[in-house]
Amino acid sequence: MRYTTLISAAELASHLDDSNLLIIDCRHDLSNPDAGPEAYRAGHITHAQFAHVDLVMSGAKTGSDGKFKGRHPLPQRQDFIDAMQALGLNAATQVVAYDAQGGMYAARLWWLLRWIGHAQVAVLDGGLQAWQGQGGALSTAVPAAVRGNLHDQPALVSSIDVDGVLANISSKKMLVVDARAADRYRGENETIDAVGGHIPGAGNRFFKDNLDADGRFKPATTLRAEWSAVLDNAQMAIMQCGSGVTACHNLLALEVAGLPGASLYPGSWSEWSADPARPVAIGPQP
């Protein structure tokens, strides 16, 4: 069993009792941090553990320099490794991450595990809805975890910090792609961050455009065609969003499309817009 991008509900069901499988529930609500744990306690896929977006998949919002790093900055690597070990992760473990929001949170865990060098991680395509839609049962039992021995390995993904993104405005070496909805990209209806708009020069690809109407990812050929219209070379692209979460959904879609190599800007708009010295663009894509 080796899945590195997506796994279907039927495929997961056929491996549900595999000894090297770790299922992680990533459900979350940006406006209610308790929603994920409450949903997990109410019912989750059998054997699933829970990982909180804020507490496990994110780090301190303020850096050692006192500057705001965004709403969901990357966790410290060792802190994240320790959290994954506590859930039972070993080097040979197949991880399946799921949520109930089209993969928007599960993709963050997918990226983070690749960040610490673990390739065997996939997002449940269609999430909890797909699982229940094919007859999958839910459980309220919290499984005991045997601490794993996963260690830090060379990263399989890349990231770029705010200074690199700022320098890129002048050099234009890389294409920045914003995963937020088009209205927020344009600077309209901004209800989360203090400033509306986008990074100058950034394009826009709403992460939900990666999904079909049923909440599953579009076929690889479709994603490749759509993304090829957005960028020429994924390896020269930077994915960002509001806080570095849904940008991972675009990174997963690129991987499914066979267009790997884009970088994540973890701080994203929440970090960028916090400093009034950084330039802001308003309006539609040029």
Tell me if 55 is assigned to some domain: yes
Same domain, yes or no: 186 and 260: yes
Predicted pLDDT at 238? 98
The answer to whether the beta carbons of residues 9 and 130 sit under 8 Å apart is: yes
The domain spanning residue 182 has which CATH number?
Answer: 3.40.250.10
Tell me if 251 is assigned to some domain: yes
Predicted pLDDT at 196? 96
Same domain, yes or no: 120 and 71: yes
Predicted pLDDT at 285? 85
Closest by CA to 126, choosing from 151, 99, 150, 147, is: 99
- Name the domain boundary from 139, 167, 187: 139
- Name the domain boundary from 94, 111, 139: 139
Same domain, yes or no: 27 and 127: yes
Residues 89-112 have pLDDT tens digits of: 999 999 999 999 999 999 999 999
Which residues, listed in sequence order, are joined to residue 217 by a DSSP beta bridge? 211
Same domain, yes or no: 14 and 120: yes
Buried b (16+ CB within 10 A) or exposed e, 263-274: bbbbbbbbbbbb
Tell me if 146 is assigned to some domain: no
What is the residue-level pLDDT of the chain in tens, covering all 286 positions? 799 999 999 999 999 999 999 999 999 999 999 999 999 999 999 999 999 999 999 999 998 889 999 999 999 999 999 999 999 999 999 999 999 999 999 999 999 999 999 999 999 999 999 999 999 999 999 999 999 999 899 999 999 999 999 999 999 999 999 999 999 999 999 888 889 999 999 999 999 999 999 999 999 999 999 999 999 999 999 999 999 999 999 999 999 999 999 999 999 999 999 999 999 999 998 7
Same domain, yes or no: 17 and 132: yes
Same domain, yes or no: 23 and 122: yes
Tell me if 145 is assigned to some domain: no
Separate counts of helices (H) and strands (E) for the chain: 10, 12
Same domain, yes or no: 95 and 169: no
Structural domain boundaries enclosing 218: 158-272
Same domain, yes or no: 170 and 210: yes
- Name the domain boundary from 139, 171, 205: 139
In the chain, the number of structural domains is 2
Tell me if 283 is assigned to some domain: no
Predicted pLDDT at 1? 73
Note the helical H segments in 87-181.
106-115, 127-133, 162-171
For the annotated catalytic residues, the residue numbers are 241
Distance CA 43, CA 266 (A): 31
Same domain, yes or no: 132 and 198: no
Residues 48-75 have pLDDT tens digits of: 999 999 999 999 999 888 999 999 999 9
Tell me if 280 is assigned to some domain: no
Predicted pLDDT at 188? 95
Distance CA 226, CA 204 (A): 12
Same domain, yes or no: 77 and 186: no
